[in-house]
Amino acid sequence: MDLGRVGIWTFQFDYQPIDRCIAAAREIEELGFGTLWVPEQRGREAISLATLLLSSTERIVIANGIARASARDARSMAAAQLTLAEAFPDRYLLGVGGQTRLDGDSVEALGTYLDAMDVAEYAPPVPSLRPPRVLAAINRRGLKLAAARSLGAHTYLCPPRHIRWARKVLGPTPLLAVEQPVVLESGSEIARTIARRHLSFYLALPAYRQMLIRSDFQSLSYKTGETMRSLMKWWSGATKRPFAPGSPNTSTLARRMSASRCCRASRVAFRLMDGDEWPGWPESFGTNSSLRYAQLEYSRNTHLRIPHGPGRGQPITRGRSTARRGRRSDRGSDLSASRSVSPL
């Protein structure tokens, strides 16, 4: 499975007509992005949407980031994954997650869910190796579970300090796929307004709030307004200049974009936002100069290839868990920065 170096992550397929979703997926594929990540939020059923996007494209990997364990039983999740793996070899990556409450109890429940997936009855022909999966994880127990029971972890809204810590918890070889929100806006005030609107939602969620506190935003624990200013200053690169391609603060933005490289993220998926909608939706991915520049910049890198397996390429064994440890190649990778896409 070839994930590519950089992918696109979007909520917008829950809000757009299906023909527009298909057109966008095809355009993203033509631009050369390796993976398109679609979550399960408040609209379309995740695996049905993945099936539609896979059938409408030719090469790009479609990843559910994530499909909710609470939305379907383990047998249905396992059967759906195996069906798509057979129909679209090496093109479907299942991301599994629980609810927003990512505490110890939910991590334990997710482990039990994975046990049930691994022993689920499945009558049709199956591949010799189980197709890969990743787990949504931001805390230590979740990351440990992801390292032991899957290809690796998929994180969301995590600053570089947390990414670096997650890599240490996971170890050197598991996949660490990180979502990176970016604003396709030349005006700094508009960009910050979009970012503020986005962050305010997640600051109300205990799991993300605690993650940000651990990532050096301690003021979250007592002054939300001060914390918001701190977050905005950090994500904007501490500059008052507009986020325009070619502007003098381009190098600062590039350093923010490349922070994942220093933290050993395996791959990055950009979540696009703009001033017209939240989350944003470009009228054309291909004609957007910022996104086009990013594609050209990242296309110079080699691709990241991953093996099959519930993380480690194990054979499928009916009737018992296949969660034993095995061998896996190093999937750490670097990331070049685009100078024309503005990190929040």
Query: How far apart, in Å, are the Cα atoms of 268 and each of 51, 85, 140, 187, 336?
Result: 23, 23, 20, 24, 11
Domain assignment present for residue 1? The answer is no
Q: Kindly state the tokens that stand for 29.
A: 């594929």
pLDDT tens for each residue of 301-315: 434 444 443 334 444
Number of folded domains in the chain? 1
pLDDT, position 328:
35
Residue 228's pLDDT band (boundaries 50, 70, 90)?
low
pLDDT, position 65:
95
Its pTM stands at 0.79
pLDDT, position 201:
84
Q: Is 103 left (phi over 0), alpha (psi -120 to 50) or beta?
A: beta
Domain assignment present for residue 143? The answer is yes
pLDDT, position 305:
45
Domain assignment present for residue 42? The answer is yes
pLDDT tens for each residue of 78-128: 999 999 999 999 999 999 997 544 445 788 899 999 999 999 999 998 877
User: Which of 16-25, 163-172, 226-235, 321-330 is the least confident region?
Assistant: 321-330
Q: Kindly state the tokens that stand for 231.
A: 């977050």
Domain assignment present for residue 224? The answer is yes
Residue 183, domain CATH: 3.20.20.30
pLDDT, position 46:
97
Indicate the pairing of strand 92-97 with strand 152-155.
unpaired
Coil/strand/helix, residue 184 = coil
Over range 309-333, report the average pLDDT: 38
Query: How far apart, in Å, are the Cα atoms of 79 and each of 122, 234, 236, 287?
Result: 7, 43, 43, 39
Tell me the residue range of the domain where 63 lies. 6-343
pLDDT tens for each residue of 132-188: 999 999 999 999 999 999 999 999 988 888 999 999 999 999 999 999 877 666 677
Over range 227-240, report the average pLDDT: 52
Instruction: With a cut of 90, say whether residue 318 has pLDDT above it.
Output: no
